[in-house]
Amino acid sequence: MAGREQVARHFPFQVGRASGAGLRLEDSGVWDQHLTIDLGPNTQFELQTQPGAATYLNGVPVEKSPLRNGDVIQIGTVELLFGLSPTRQRSFFARELLVWFGLAAISLGQIALIYWLLQ
């Protein structure tokens, strides 16, 4: 399952062996309902583990902790990389084209003004 991507479409998002989990893992050391990712206060993602379930966040054992983009969650023999979905950049072609046309118009205007003043 290395490199697999899982998108959380609703919260709370559960990870574990149970059939109802959003991310179902069959690896050793993973409990039926190992951990839950939810939106905490101030719309910050929060990790909550089941009592007694061994969970490490960036190598540090945790029971409850806020999550940041790029955090590594280790449960049993599985390592999960928590990340936000990639953003799609809008094209700036039209804006760039307008800027270049504007610069060209200003340059031509200055050339015409210099020509007019020299006559």
Tens of pLDDT, residue by residue over 14-63, are 998 888 888 888 888 887 888 999 988 888 899 999 888 889 999 999 99
- E-assigned strand segments in the chain: 13-16, 23-24, 35-39, 45-49, 55-57, 60-61, 64-66, 72-75, 78-81
Q: Count Cβ atoms below 10 Å from residue 71 Cβ, excluding itself.
A: 16
pLDDT at 1 over 70: no
What tokens appear for 62 in the block? 């945790």
pLDDT value of position 30: 84
> Is residue 6 over pLDDT 90?
no
For the chain, domains (ranges, CATH) are 13-81 (2.60.200.20)
Residue 90: is its pLDDT beyond 90? no
pTM: 0.65
